[in-house]
Amino acid sequence: MNIDHRVIALIDMDCFYVQVEQRLQPEFLGKPCGVSQYYTWKGGGLIAVNYEARDFGVKRGMRGEQAKELCPDFHIFHVQEVNGKANLNRYRDASADVFRVLNANFKLVEKASIDEAYIDLTEDVQKLKDKKLQLTINDFSTTHLAGCTTKIEDERIEILNKWLNDCQLDDEKRNYDLLLGAYLIEQIRKKIKDQTGFFCSAGIARNKILAKLCCGFNKPKKQTIFTQSDIDHIFDKTPVQKIQGLGGKAGERVVELFQVEYIGQLRKYSLDMLQTSMGEKDGCWLFNLIRGIETTPVNNRNLYKSISASKNFPGKTCLDTIDKIRTWCHHLAEDVFNRLEKDRAENKRRAKLLTVICTLATNETITRSCPINEYSIDRFANDTLRILKQYNKNSLTSNIFTPVIHHIGISAGKFLDNINTKSIADLFSKQTTKIETIISTENIINCQEEEEEEDDNEEDNNTEENILEKPTLPIQGDFFRKFQKSDEQTKIQLKSENKTTTSSSSITSFFSRYTSNENILNCSPNKIDDHYITCSKCHKSILIWNMPEHEDFHYAHELQIEENKTNSIIKSSKTIKRKNTNQTLDSFINKKSKI
DNA sequence: CATTCAAGCGGT
DNA sequence: ACCGCTTGA
């Protein structure tokens, strides 16, 4: 599979929080509304505004009172408060409703935010091709072409109709894939509406950046196709800040350094110039991006990597006594605890690391972590309080805390799976399709360095079949979960000689980095005996929250044998079909080696 | 006094 | 591990 022959969609719920509230109170459908949190101060801050209200100039971030001035009929929904703190569970639950539909219909779905999902439709489109459907304009009632900006419905239909006939008759521009992708997305959007009640918009393109960009071209309740031939003329009018990842300081840097306003203006700069100013990696990314090439994979991930609760205490509301801090530690701990318990029941996993974030009056932000040994509100609260107290300059006997605190957050992460009974074969069998690991790359500039390969494995007695058929190897870390879910993308490397790339990463690079990382951890100042457990395989003392990775290390070691066998296959054939999986070990290792 | 809360990623 | 940046409702 060529990386720029993918079909990627980005689905984005329209003013999601408002729709969630309107689903509960349908009498507000069609009326200008918004959702705000903390209504006592100037009507709270608006975090979602529907399209009816946007017509009046109401915007996200505005105060509720200000919105009322612009639009007297504006209705404000308020975020639920628990213990005096905004609670977003209602929207998380609604999000789960949407993702249930997506996951039931597609294999490769990435939860990008509470209301956004990337879908890799490449395989779905290939399967659909075999059906040789004759699609008509009626299959695309909400579809727009990125290059067609008309507001007149008849014109949309005329131009889209011509385009769809063209690419069904002669697909020389390779647009037929995108057409089929758009067809699938028309259907899933209908399904989402039918099964959840929510409207959404979508973008369909060859990569995530383009899908994300064009999703915003026609909103709400519409979808947009971005073809490769749209790139130049649209990028010529696309402000740098509109590109995902360039909305902040990085984008400002681009504008300043290159004196450009629109992303397309960067085309006149060489790869070298971009890399000199932006760094090797970012420069490479930009150079490819403005030529329509962007290879970031859609990760198969539906679960949160962390669960957190935080609250600001601005101005006079700051926390200046131990009592106040203790109370809020407890409230935040309770929120995290409740969500962790739900997560544990649903996802059979446990968070192993608690991270406390606080901002002091000195304007410094502090982040400190400690292990989670059991889920308990009091444990979370006490751990948090203990960490915060380290920054109190006042006497231990006083209730006064200096410097005052303006923000506290508690985050739980480093999840460890409990599941330990599934066989490897079971896990692998979830993915049944092939992957082609050799990718044609005429257009792709890749700046990743070659990694040295080592051949230092002795035991070569485990065949791939042996490993795959071992039924009872316990799965404790999340290595296999990632593997099973095809979380990663095959690595591409440019070979300057013949302009072909091979998937050629080595497991050894993962090892070397992991090992050095371990050494650092073993001499870290946080070393407290309680936090260590002894690994049953290597008898090393390992920090409890590093066990998932440590277990990955062992599994990776065991599978290195398989890796070596695979490498020889890759080198000797153009494509490789792997039994019962569409992932190579490379793909996993690539991610790991970045840690 | 004041967007706020939340999540992920990359650099070091 | 910790910090800053980015994004989104």
Q: What is the mean pLDDT of chain A?
A: 79
A314 CB neighbours strand B below 7 A: yes
Mean pLDDT value of segment A493-505: 29
CB < 7 A to strand B: residues 76-95, chain A: 85-88, 92
Q: Is there a contact between A259 and A240 (Cβ–Cβ < 8 Å)?
A: no
Q: Which nucleotides of C are covered by protein (CB under 7 A)?
A: 1-9
Distance A165 CA to B8 C1' (A): 41
Distance A411 CA to C3 C1' (A): 15
The pLDDT-based confidence of A534 (bands split at 50, 70, 90) is low
Mean pLDDT value of segment A314-334: 98
Sequence-ordered strand ranges (E) for A381-520: 400-417, 439-440, 500-501
Please, is A529 exposed, middle or buried when counting C-beta atoms within 10 Å of its C-beta (0-12, 13-18, 19+)?
exposed
Contacts of A427 (CB under 8 A, 6+ apart): A475, A480, A481, A483, A484
User: Residue A530: pLDDT above 70?
Assistant: no
Question: Do the strands A45-49 and A33-37 form a parallel or antiparallel pair, or are they unpaired?
Answer: antiparallel
Mean pLDDT value of segment A454-482: 31
Residue A22 is predicted with a pLDDT of 98
Mean pLDDT value of segment A558-564: 40
Residue A418 is predicted with a pLDDT of 81
Domain segments of chain A: what residues? Answer: 16-84, 236-289, 306-417, 424-594
The pLDDT-based confidence of A396 (bands split at 50, 70, 90) is very high
The pLDDT-based confidence of A4 (bands split at 50, 70, 90) is confident
Residue A177 is predicted with a pLDDT of 97
Mean pLDDT value of segment A130-149: 97
Beta-ladder partners of A495:
A500
Nucleotide nearest to A315 (CA to C1'): B1
User: Residue A568: pLDDT above 70?
Assistant: no
Helix (H) or strand (E) holding A93: helix A89-105
CB < 7 A to strand C: residues 352-411, chain A: 353, 355, 364-369
Count Cβ neighbours within 10 Å for each residue of A385-395 and write b for 16 or more, e otherwise.
Answer: bebbeebbeee
A551 CB neighbours strand C below 7 A: no
Count Cβ neighbours within 10 Å for each residue of A267-279 and write b for 16 or more, e otherwise.
Answer: eebeeeebbebbe
Residue A432 is predicted with a pLDDT of 35
Q: Which two tokens stand for residue A486?
A: 């095809």
User: Residue A514: pLDDT above 50?
Assistant: no
Q: Is there a contact between A135 and A143 (Cβ–Cβ < 8 Å)?
A: no
Q: Which two tokens stand for residue A243?
A: 């590109």
Q: How far is CA A215 from CA A15, A219, A454, in A?
A: 13, 8, 45
Residue A368 is predicted with a pLDDT of 98
Higher pLDDT, A187 or A469: A187
Q: How far is C-alpha A93 from the geometric centre of its chain's CA atoms?
A: 18
Distance A324 CA to B12 C1' (A): 35
Residue A419 is predicted with a pLDDT of 57
User: Residue A450: pLDDT above 50?
Assistant: no
State the Cα–Cα distance between residues A291 and A231, nearest whole angstrom.
7
User: Residue A556: pLDDT above 70?
Assistant: no
A352: three-class secondary structure by DSSP: strand
A274 CB neighbours strand C below 7 A: no
- The CATH number corresponding to A306-417 among 3.30.1950.10, 3.50.50.100, 3.30.70.1230, 3.30.1490.100 equals 3.30.1490.100
Mean pLDDT value of segment A504-527: 27
Q: Which two tokens stand for residue A577?
A: 């079909």
CATH fold, domain A16-84, is MutS, DNA mismatch repair protein, domain I (3.40.1170)
Higher pLDDT, A530 or A318: A318
User: Residue A280: pLDDT above 70?
Assistant: yes
pLDDT tens-digit profile of A74-128? 999 999 999 999 999 999 999 999 999 999 999 999 999 999 999 999 999 999 9
Mean pLDDT value of segment A258-285: 97
Secondary structure (DSSP) of A481-531: HHHHTT-S------BTTTTEE-----HHHHHHHHHHHHHHHHT-TT--GGG
Residue A578 is predicted with a pLDDT of 31
Distance A315 CA to B1 C1' (A): 4
Q: Is there a contact between A589 and A494 (Cβ–Cβ < 8 Å)?
A: no
State the Cα–Cα distance between residues A584 and A171, nearest whole angstrom.
31
pLDDT tens-digit profile of A153-194? 999 999 999 999 999 999 999 999 999 999 999 999 999 999
A543 CB neighbours strand C below 7 A: yes
A248 CB neighbours strand B below 7 A: no
- Domain A236-289 sits in CATH 3.40.50.300: no
Mean pLDDT value of segment A259-275: 97
Dihedral sign, Cα of residue A254, residue A256, residue A260, residue A262: positive
Question: Do the strands A306-312 and A319-321 form a parallel or antiparallel pair, or are they unpaired?
Answer: unpaired
State the Cα–Cα distance between residues A135 and A430, nearest whole angstrom.
31
Nucleotide nearest to A212 (CA to C1'): C7
Contacts of A499 (CB under 8 A, 6+ apart): A441, A442
Distance A558 CA to B3 C1' (A): 50
Higher pLDDT, A462 or A471: A462
Helix (H) or strand (E) holding A162: helix A153-169
User: Residue A241: pLDDT above 70?
Assistant: yes
Distance A110 CA to C1 C1' (A): 27
Q: Is there a contact between A413 and A340 (Cβ–Cβ < 8 Å)?
A: no
Mean pLDDT value of segment A1-14: 95
User: Residue A316: pLDDT above 50?
Assistant: yes
The dihedral region occupied by A329, where left means phi > 0, alpha psi between -120 and 50, and beta the remainder, is alpha
Note if A449 is an active site residue: no
Residue A569 is predicted with a pLDDT of 24
User: Residue A518: pLDDT above 90?
Assistant: no
User: Residue A203: pLDDT above 50?
Assistant: yes
State the Cα–Cα distance between residues A452 and A415, nearest whole angstrom.
31
pLDDT tens-digit profile of A48-68? 999 999 999 999 999 999 999
User: Residue A317: pLDDT above 90?
Assistant: yes
Give the active site residue among A116, A123, A451, A563: A116
Q: Is there a contact between A313 and A361 (Cβ–Cβ < 8 Å)?
A: no
A199 CB neighbours strand C below 7 A: no
Range of weakest confidence among A222-236, A349-363, A370-384, A516-530: A516-530
Q: Which two tokens stand for residue A400?
A: 């006064």
